[in-house]
Chain A
Amino acid sequence: MTPVAAVRDAGLAALVAFGLFAPLVGLRTDVVEGGLALRGRWDDVAWLVLLAFVGRLALLLLAGRRLPRLTLPAPLARAGQYAAPFFLGLALLLPWLPFIERYELDLGILVLTYVMLGWGLNIVVGLAGLLDLGYVAFYAVGAYSYALLSLTYGLSFWVCLPLAGILAAFAGVLLGFPVLRLRGDYLAIVTLAFGEIIRVVLTNWTELTGGPNGLSGIPRPGLFGLSFTSEEGGFADFFGLDYDPVHRVIFLYYLILGLALLTNWVTLRLRRQPLGRAWEALREDEIACRALGINVTVTKLTAFAIGAMFAGFAGSFFATRQAFVSPESFTFIESAIILAIVVLGGMGSQLGVAVAALLLIGGTELFRDLAEWRMLIFGAAMVVIMVVRPRGLVGTRTPSIALGEKRAIGGTYVSEGH
């Protein structure tokens, strides 16, 4: 359409808008003493008409054009190779940077918790291609496992951590069995239901879990028996430092960083091994897997179990950091956020998931001043990212092995599974 014709068309739209808005918006009756008075709101009408004109014009001129696909320019793509070491270095040095205060450290801990959860869910959704909407259930199992084991039996954090992981993995297998035959939407619904079941059980089993009041007074972790208190024999005393509550925060920061890196390390190793390749093959074509003698049942269950195990680790970290757990922390929206991190990051990509967690969790914290506009911006940003990069931030797949040089595989070939 030529610009002249477009302007004419937009003018027509503006005229229609004027016809509509003049009586609807322009004339307003106010109750005054002795009856009604008519008041004109012509400036509002002018804005609405202008909006209709500009909107129609934009629609006509831009419609039919393809939306730009965001491809990174070559220098930036090359810089992308250094992104992972850069983020790792930043994460390791974060507590020692000069401008980092208590607030930033707490935010870092929060972001890293979600990075870890994202990496854990990435095993299930990104690699094995099983859409799990109830991932937070395993997070809850881990958190309550630690809380209950430490409160009831007085076990230390380091003993409870593997136990919480094992219990969460067991929950993963438990979920895995009924959903083995399901695919796609049906799988998603059942996992969603499983997440809700766990939450409802936690809320109603009052004798064990304290119900909606949750469990409080969960012990804090120590470093090789050194507790982070001002008492004698504590961490500060042992190293001859002045007691500072930030020591504990730094310790927690490194703890979750270590746990997250463990998740990453295990995932990266598994990806290069038969089990990881079988997960990806399962995502690509389940029937072909069966024809090659891969036990689909066991492979799916291991994906659920290992993904759940890392959620269990993250859950016990969450419990020990908060010193308090209640079912409210494990609602569906948490599952949705973790899934959004995985999808936004690019399914299967470790770096993408980490960056997405930083954007999603750190970003929303950054815009805290915007109050109610925050979620609006958040939502709009997600829509924009998915429109310009439909396969997520890192939309390519890196082969696990190569005879020559490893070349990234374009997202168009890689299936999403489910």
Chain B
Amino acid sequence: MILDVEELTMRFGGLTAVHAVSFQAWGGEITALIGPNGAGKTTVFNCITGFYRPSGGKLTLFGRNGEVALQKLAGHRIARAGVARTFQNIRLFPGMTVLENLLVAQHNRLMAATGWGIGAVLGLSRYPAAEAEALERAKHWLNATQLLDRADDPAGALPYGAQRRLEIARAMCTEPVLLCLDEPAAGLNPRESDELSALLLQIRAQGTSILLIEHDMGVVMKISDHVVVLDHGRKIADGTPAEVRADAKVISAYLGEGDEDEAA
């Protein structure tokens, strides 16, 4: 198990966006979180990645350094514990180059090598080696996302699909144990969707678990190992893609009666 969500509840004033949701994400698997708009998927994400503090419940990450209670950590510490995320509306650093985006993602590791800033200014540290290593890691992910030839272009100048890929590459440069993707296939054409699926499978093969919010059922059903369905802030189903697709509650709440062929 990589992530254990227990009785997660999130209230905004009088509105309960997420109501006692529990599920598990398993190590080395792709877990998809699906449901209609407003079901609370992104809220769950924001709780896991530290952008919201949950009103109740427990979030346990089984990371490299043992168990971590995510609900108690400050936002930037969650990323350091090994949870990386992308955003529904892409959030890159548009005025910085693609390569710079990937180096910012490795900030903590690089910063530690600079002797907290002072040593590197004076040229007294092991920074050059750390930077070379960071560049190699950046190149690896640029290769994996087919962005190597755009490395020196500003991120804001990339086409939409490439920006989506860059955001994933940037998240992977933090070397996460759990990668949280918020609608990575939104706005992609079918060919780009297929490439995305291949990329996510490649990431899983390298040992990073993935938690995925997605509306594109083609992608979800093809690559997920495990699907959790939310509706109105509650979990209504949890299982393999085939089980979920056959679930009556899921069909009525989300997939719809006539949508089986689309889902296939």
Listed in ascending order, the chain A residues whose CB lies under 8 Å from chain B are: 266, 269-270, 273-275, 277-278, 280-281, 283-285, 287-296, 302, 397, 399-407, 409-410, 412-415
Contacts and interface: CB of A to CB of B under 8 A. Distances in A.
B154 A409 contact: yes
B187 interface: no
A295 B73 CA distance: 12
Counting from the closest, the 6 A-B pairs by CB-CB distance are A293-B79, A414-B95, A284-B93, A413-B156, A274-B110, A288-B91
A399 B85 contact: no
25 contacts: A273-B110, A273-B114, A274-B107, A274-B110, A274-B117, A275-B117, A277-B104, A277-B107, A278-B111, A281-B107, A287-B51, A288-B87, A290-B50, A291-B85, A293-B107, A293-B174, A294-B79, A294-B104, A399-B100, A399-B152, A403-B99, A409-B97, A413-B95, A414-B95, A415-B95
A281 B114 CA distance: 18
B129 interface: no
A415 B121 CA distance: 26
B49 A291 contact: yes
Contact of A291 (B79, B96, B157): B79
A404 B99 CA distance: 11
B28 to A, nearest CB: 22
Interface of B: 49-51, 75-80, 84-85, 87, 91-97, 99-100, 103-108, 110-111, 114, 117, 120-121, 127, 135, 139, 151-157, 170-171, 174
Given A288-B87, A292-B174, A293-B108, A277 B103 contact: yes
A269 B121 contact: yes
Contacts of B121: 266, 269-270, 273
A157 to B, nearest CB: 23
Given A275-B111, A280-B93, A404 B151 contact: yes
Nearest to A412: B156
A274 B114 contact: yes
B93 A278 contact: no
A296 B100 CA distance: 18
B79 to A, nearest CB: 3
A284 B96 contact: yes
A280 B152 CA distance: 16
Contacts of A290: 50-51, 75-76, 79
Nearest to B94: A413
Given A281-B104, A293-B79, A293-B107, A402 B97 contact: yes
A125 to B, nearest CB: 15
A114 B102 CA distance: 35
Given A269-B121, A270-B117, A275-B114, A292 B154 contact: no
A101 to B, nearest CB: 38
A269 B127 CA distance: 12
Nearest to A302: B117
Given A273-B121, A293-B76, A285 B107 contact: no
A278 B93 CA distance: 10
Given A270-B117, A292-B79, A292-B104, A402 B127 contact: no
Given A269-B121, A275-B111, A401-B99, A281 B80 contact: no
A287 to B, nearest CB: 6
A400 B79 contact: no
A274 B91 CA distance: 19
A270 B93 CA distance: 18
Nearest to A275: B117
B99 A280 contact: no
A277 B77 CA distance: 19
B127 to A, nearest CB: 7
Interface centre among A287, A399, A402 (most CB of B within 10 A): A399
B152 A407 contact: yes
Nearest to B91: A288
A16 B97 CA distance: 58
Nearest to A306: B117
Nearest to B176: A293
A285 B96 CA distance: 11
Contacts of A275: 111, 114, 117
A273 B127 contact: yes
Contacts of A406: 152
A207 to B, nearest CB: 37
Given A292-B174, A296-B76, A402-B97, 9 more contacts: A273-B121, A277-B100, A284-B93, A285-B91, A289-B104, A291-B75, A292-B79, A405-B152, A406-B152
A292 B50 CA distance: 11
Contacts of B100: 277, 280, 399-401
A413 B85 CA distance: 23
Contacts of B79: 290-294
Contacts of B87: 287-288, 291
A413 B93 CA distance: 9
Contacts of B108: 293-294
Contacts of B99: 399, 401-403
A288 B174 CA distance: 12
